[in-house]
């Protein structure tokens, strides 16, 4: 966590909470000692027009009562830089609570519905429309549900529009028909979103299901009734009224509030919890145990066997979620150019790597069509994603690594990149123009959650805070918030100005990833600012790997060399003998003490890094399968996977 800069105005900054396109947010104490959230605006946004717009936003937001929202407490728009002070509201979002613990109980659903209806009443009464009400914008605080993020709010008076921009505004799964078709917004669209939000809280479902493309979802929103199966009939009837296709037929927020507070709490037990990743071994045991070394075709998905929902206390201590009522999403992350110098800026040592001391046979070999473009282990180590340039991505069951079994095929074009979230619940895959997000609650039957339109994304990584980073061939890195994976939000981008992206990886404790381009590897702080000089190239970088402990970076270069860098002090590099290159891929083991690299002879070499001055090749992996294209190691330290140009994927025992 980045150390905050002391004080701003009368507020003492304690720690950095996060950053977005508009500014950096800090946990702080006011002069009375109470916790608040302070948002310090990016200097790049400064200017008379920005400050004038911000003043209008503050004026409108201050009119909303704070009981069910996050209040604006203070603002100094003349400060350098300007800043806002809001309530700091701890607690999980509704999206996170449902994702981690399943649907809420009937009583919890009613409580959230009442509070959100009250918040909408207050918002509409001052002349605002929220326009992006969704589970990710509702905090389940210790005092009840609170509505946050007026980042796309709009004044009902068209002359006082707060946020403008091209295209649709809002989050599609919770949009009203008129909003999805681009018609003029009215307060009725927030009422429609309330119905979808309550469905999600009560069942864990989205109101119109999950669609593989935007057109199907928009058609469902416009034509189909919402799915309220399993919801108590009186509440279901109110949801249907709120989600009437004709906005004139919906109740107002005030009428909705009066109706929902009179509903009785249902006596029925809550719906069964969806399978989580922790349930995966039990779920897989229900499948037909027919080991299949080939990836084509995949095994049939097993039947679902839901288990009872574990009890959850909504007010349990969690990491605080910032509730800044004016968190405007602007597509801007500070970037910086990288020096294009031919000579390295770092000193280099070149130890001699000792000869190979061990060879070993593989545990299993799989085959797919085309060249393998990616192999990625899920954090558990029991699941492997395989992607090639001609076949659909496949998920492989590796609980028994000697008998890997095709588990599921993802219904997408061939993937160029893939990444799992740290909790392994969500998988992101990228093809030529789209990123797909998948629900892996049941890995044998992955469910499509949403798609993101993107261009030529070849590298993906997911941070611990739920940020998805994607790098493209034009040298641009994009960022999306996928904490609500059904409704991902683009939150920023930056241009490296240093060639195509060849690697992205998050370092533990840092919210901004390391980004490697063909010309340099760039280390940035949590705000995206370069920390000192970028790691200079010795030759064109083709790939990179970051150790799990966040201390080492390996850059693989076109001149057959591989350099090891100390991330904390990136001024000295250790060069691995060029006889081992050119590596198109490399991967560290979970203990960060060994590195697997591709060698010129089409073998993979496992290097012992315990003594950087005398690197030692401890194992050679030779599958006689041709040129290596990808390497990954399982997070449990049991196996590693090497992939090849001819479509082979080989599973090996990890070094002892």
| Residue 290 covered by a domain | no
**What region, left, alpha or beta, does residue 130 occupy, with left being phi > 0 and alpha being psi -120 to 50 degrees?**
alpha
Q: CATH number of the domain that 43 lies in?
A: 3.30.200.20
595 touches 587 (CB < 8 A): yes
- Joined together, the tokens standing for residue 158 give 């068209």
| Residue 271 covered by a domain | no
CA–CA distances in Å: residue 30 to residues 8, 9, 85, 466: 10, 10, 9, 29
Q: How many domains does the chain fold into?
A: 3
39 in a known ligand binding site: yes
| Residue 326 covered by a domain | no
| Residue 603 covered by a domain | yes
Q: What's the pLDDT at 150?
A: 53
Find the helix or strand (DSSP H, E) in which 248 lies: none
Inter-axis angle of helices 188-203 and 106-125, nearest 10? 160
Q: What's the pLDDT at 168?
A: 44
- From CA 504, how far away is CA 516, in angstroms rounded? 6
| Residue 37 covered by a domain | yes
Q: What's the pLDDT at 184?
A: 81
388 touches 369 (CB < 8 A): yes
* Residues whose CB falls within 8 Å of the CB of residue 246, separated by 6 or more in sequence, listed in order: none
Active-site choice (87, 132, 149, 431): 132
- From CA 545, how far away is CA 351, in angstroms rounded? 20
Q: What's the pLDDT at 234?
A: 93
- From CA 192, how far away is CA 198, in angstroms rounded? 10
Q: Are residues 556 and 605 in the same domain?
A: yes
Q: Are residues 444 and 593 in the same domain?
A: yes
CA–CA distances in Å: residue 4 to residues 40, 112, 297, 647: 11, 34, 53, 49
Q: Are residues 82 and 102 in the same domain?
A: no
Which stretches of the chain score pLDDT less than 50?
A: 1-3, 20-21, 44, 151-169, 212, 267-357, 532-534, 536, 578-579, 581-582
Q: Are residues 69 and 103 in the same domain?
A: no
| Residue 278 covered by a domain | no
Q: What is the pLDDT of residues 28-69, one digit of tens each?
A: 899 988 888 888 876 645 567 767 767 776 777 777 776 677
Structural domain harbouring 453: 353-653
Q: Are residues 114 and 241 in the same domain?
A: yes
Q: CATH number of the domain that 144 lies in?
A: 1.10.510.10
What is the DSSP code string of 480-537?
EE-SSTTS-EEEEEEE-SSSSEEEEEPPTT-SS-EEEESSEEE-B-TTS-B-SSPEEP
Q: Are residues 49 and 141 in the same domain?
A: no
Q: What's the pLDDT at 526?
A: 58
What is the DSSP code string of 553-564?
EEEEETTS-EEE
Q: What is the pLDDT of residues 563-602, one digit of tens each?
A: 888 877 766 567 765 445 445 688 888 888 888 887 767 7
| Residue 308 covered by a domain | no
Task: HSE, CB side, 13 Å, CA atoms: give it for residue 417.
Answer: 27
Inter-axis angle of helices 233-242 and 106-125, nearest 10? 30
* Residues whose CB falls within 8 Å of the CB of residue 316, separated by 6 or more in sequence, listed in order: none
Residue 132 designated active-site: yes
What is the DSSP code string of 391-457?
S--EEEE-SSTTS-EEEEE-SSSPPSEEEE-TTSSEEEEE-SSEEEEEE-SSTTS-EEEEEEE-SSE
Q: Are residues 178 and 224 in the same domain?
A: yes
| Residue 160 covered by a domain | yes
Q: What's the pLDDT at 530?
A: 59
- From CA 180, how far away is CA 198, in angstroms rounded? 19
Q: Are residues 608 and 638 in the same domain?
A: yes
Q: Are residues 555 and 530 in the same domain?
A: yes
Q: Are residues 502 and 472 in the same domain?
A: yes
Which among 42, 57, 87 is the end of a domain? 87
């Amino acid at each position: 966590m980045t150390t905050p800069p002391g004080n701003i105005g009368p507020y003492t900054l304690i720690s950095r909470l996060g950053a977005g396109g508009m500014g950096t947010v800090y946990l702080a104490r006011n002069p009375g000692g109470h916790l608040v959230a302070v948002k310090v605006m990016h200097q790049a946004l400064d200017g008379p027009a920005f400050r004038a717009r911000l003043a209008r936003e503050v004026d409108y937001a201050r009119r909303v009562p704070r009981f069910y929202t996050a209040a604006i407490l203070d603002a100094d728009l003349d400060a350098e830089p300007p800043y806002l002070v809001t309530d700091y509201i701890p607690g999980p979002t509704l999206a996170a609570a449902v994702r981690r613990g399943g649907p809420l109980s009937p009583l919890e659903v009613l409580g959230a519905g009442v509070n959100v209806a009250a918040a909408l009443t207050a918002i509409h009464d001052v002349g605002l429309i929220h326009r992006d009400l969704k589970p990710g914008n509702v905090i389940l605080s210790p005092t009840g549900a609170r509505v946050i993020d007026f980042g796309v709010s709009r004044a009902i008076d068209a002359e006082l529009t707060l946020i403008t921009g091209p295209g649709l505004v809002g989050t599609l799964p919770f949009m009203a028909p008129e909003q999805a078709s681009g018609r003029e917004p009215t307060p009725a669209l927030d009422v429609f979103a309330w119905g979808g939000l309550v469905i999600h809280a009560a069942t864990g479902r989205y109101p119109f299901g999950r669609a593989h493309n935007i057109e199907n979802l928009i058609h469902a929103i416009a034509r189909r009734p919402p799915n309220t199966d399993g919801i108590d009939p009186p509440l279901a009837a109110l949801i249907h009224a709120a989600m009437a296709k004709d906005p004139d037929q919906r109740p107002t927020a005030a009428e909705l509030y009066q109706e929902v507070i009179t509903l009785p709490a249902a006596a029925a037990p809550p719906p069964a919890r969806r399978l989580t990743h922790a349930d995966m071994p039990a779920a897989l045991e229900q499948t037909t145990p027919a080991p299949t070394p080939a990836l084509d075709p995949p095994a049939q998905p097993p039947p679902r066997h839901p288990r009872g929902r574990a009890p959850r206390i909504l007010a349990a201590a969690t990491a605080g979620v910032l509730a800044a009522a004016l968190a405007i999403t602007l597509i801007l992350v500070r970037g910086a150019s990288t020096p294009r110098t031919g000579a390295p800026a770092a000193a280099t040592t070149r130890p001699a790597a000792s000869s190979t001391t061990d060879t070993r046979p593989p545990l299993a070999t799989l085959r797919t069509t085309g060249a393998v473009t990616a192999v990625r282990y899920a954090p558990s180590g029991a699941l492997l994603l395989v992607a090639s340039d001609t076949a659909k991505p496949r998920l492989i069951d590796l609980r028994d690594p000697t008998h890997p079994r095709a588990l599921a095929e993802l219904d997408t074009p061939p993937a160029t990149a893939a990444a799992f979230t740290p909790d392994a619940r969500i998988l992101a895959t990228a093809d030529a123009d789209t990123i797909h997000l998948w629900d892996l609650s049941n890995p044998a039957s992955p469910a499509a959650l949403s798609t993101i339109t993107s261009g030529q994304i070849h590298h993906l990584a997911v941070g611990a805070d739920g940020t998805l980073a994607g790098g493209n061939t034009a040298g641009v890195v994009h960022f999306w918030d996928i904490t609500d994976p059904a409704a991902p939000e683009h939150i920023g981008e930056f241009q490296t100005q240093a060639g195509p992206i060849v690697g992205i990886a998050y370092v533990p404790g840092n919210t901004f990833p390391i980004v490697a381009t063909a010309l340099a590897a760039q280390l940035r702080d949590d705000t995206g600012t370069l920390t000192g000089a970028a790691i200079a190239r010795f030759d064109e970088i083709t790939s990179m790997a970051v150790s799990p402990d966040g201390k080492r970076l390996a850059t693989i270069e076109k001149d057959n060399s591989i350099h090891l860098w100390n991330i904390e002090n990136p001024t000295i590099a250790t060069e691995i003998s060029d006889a081992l290159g050119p590596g198109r891929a490399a991967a560290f083991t979970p203990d960060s003490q060994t590195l697997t690299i591709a060698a010129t002879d089409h073998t993979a070499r496992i290097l012992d890094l315990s003594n950087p001055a005398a690197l030692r090749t401890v194992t050679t992996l030779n599958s006689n399968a041709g040129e290596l294209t990808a390497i990954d190691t399982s997070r449990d330290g049991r196996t590693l996977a090497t992939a090849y140009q001819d479509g082979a994927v080989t599973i090996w025992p990890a070094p002892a």
